């Protein structure tokens, strides 16, 4: 019994009471410091699209890949994670803007995670069944049945369908991948 008391006292000493603002904080929330790891996402910033004269491609599509995206979960828990993908800035050459709905994303190769996790892009496996992007993030790759630290690398493919009335030029846009 004495041992337990000592442990309890030390634990109480280790917790921190954050200073709360005066603005009506009724419940003093006592917190402790977590020592688990982080949830990280990496990508080389080397996305490419097939090159070609745009004038000859109207109505057809550009394809390419976003580059190897790696999610590393060192939180050591049982909670899964999921990535979302969004076309946060539509492809534009300054004259023509290609709507986000003309862009599809998928992961062609099976995702082989390290650690214990089931990682999948669901039905988004080919251009035909790919996820049609919008300006808002939609769930793309998810990890379930997680037990402890895990990581997964996948290379999202994208296809951009060029509208018939597109002007010739250099198109730029931004795709955002989020993990939570």
Partner 1 sequence: MSPRRRLPWAAAAVLLLLPVVPAQAETPPPPGLGIRLLDAPTERKDDPRARVYVVDRVRPGAVLVRRVEVSNGDAASMQVLVYPAAATVEGGRFQVANRGTPGSVPQWTTVSPTSLHLAPGERAEVTVTIRVARDAAAGEVYGAVVAERPARGAQVGVALRTAVRMYLSVGQGAEPASDFRVDSLTAARDGNGRPVVLAKVHNTGGRALDLSGTLRLSDGPGGLSAGPFDATLGTTLGLGQTGPVSVALDKALPDGPWLARLELRSGQLRHAVEGRILFPATPSATSPPVVPKEVPLYEREAVVVPVAAVLVGVVALALLVLALLALLRRRRQEAGR
Query: To 5 degrees, how large is the angle CA 17–CA 20–CA 23?
Result: 155
Least distance to partner 1 from the beta carbon of 165, Å?
Answer: 21
Least distance to partner 1 from the beta carbon of 80, Å?
Answer: 5
- Interface stretch with partner 1, choices 34-42, 94-102, 107-115, 124-132 (CB under 8 A): 34-42
Closest CB to partner 1 among residues 13, 56:
13
Count of residues in contact with partner 1, rule CB under 8 A: 78
Closest CB to partner 1 among residues 41, 108:
41
Q: Give the DSSP H/E element, type plus range, for residue 5.
A: helix 2-14
Least distance to partner 1 from the beta carbon of 27, Å?
Answer: 6
Least distance to partner 1 from the beta carbon of 121, Å?
Answer: 13
Cα–Cα distances in Å, from 175 out to 9, 84, 86, 90?
Answer: 51, 10, 6, 8
Q: Give the DSSP H/E element, type plus range, for residue 4.
A: helix 2-14
Q: What is the footprint of partner 1 within residues 86-145 (CB under 8 A)?
A: 86, 88-89, 91, 118, 120, 135-139, 142, 144-145
Closest CB to partner 1 among residues 39, 109:
39
- The reply to whether 150 sits near partner 1 by the rule CB under 8 A is no
Residue from 23, 56, 112, 165 that binds partner 1 (CB under 8 A)? 23
- Interface stretch with partner 1, choices 18-26, 52-60, 123-131, 161-169 (CB under 8 A): 18-26
- Rounded CA separation 160/154 (Å): 19
User: Could you write out the DSSP letters of every residue in 95-163?
Assistant: S-B--GGGEEEE--SPP--EEEEEEE-TT--SSTTPEEP-SS-EEEEEEEEEEEEEEEEE--EEEEEPP
Which residues are within 8 A (CB) of 72 and not within 5 positions of it... i.e. 6 or more apart? 38, 39, 40, 41, 42, 151
Residue from 45, 56, 95, 128 that binds partner 1 (CB under 8 A)? 45
Residue from 58, 61, 63, 82 that binds partner 1 (CB under 8 A)? 82
């Amino acid at each position: 019994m004495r041992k337990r008391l000592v442990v309890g006292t030390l634990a109480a000493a280790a917790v921190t009471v954050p200073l709360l603002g005066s603005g009506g904080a009724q419940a003093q929330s006592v917190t402790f410091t977590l020592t688990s790891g982080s949830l990280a996402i990496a990508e080389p910033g080397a996305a490419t699209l097939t090159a070609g004269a745009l004038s000859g491609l109207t109505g057809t599509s550009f394809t390419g890949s976003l580059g190897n995206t790696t999610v590393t979960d060192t939180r050591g828990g049982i909670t899964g994670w999921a990535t979302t993908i969004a076309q946060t800035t539509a492809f534009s050459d300054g004259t023509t803007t290609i709507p986000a709905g003309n862009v599809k994303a998928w992961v062609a190769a099976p995702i082989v995670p390290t650690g214990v996790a089931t990682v999948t892009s669901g039905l988004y496996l080919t251009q035909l069944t790919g996820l049609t992007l919008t300006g808002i993030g939609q769930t793309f790759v998810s990890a379930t049945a997680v037990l402890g630290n895990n990581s997964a690398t996948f290379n999202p493919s994208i296809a951009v369908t060029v509208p018939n009335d597109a002007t010739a030029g250099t198109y730029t846009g931004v795709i955002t991948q989020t993990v939570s």
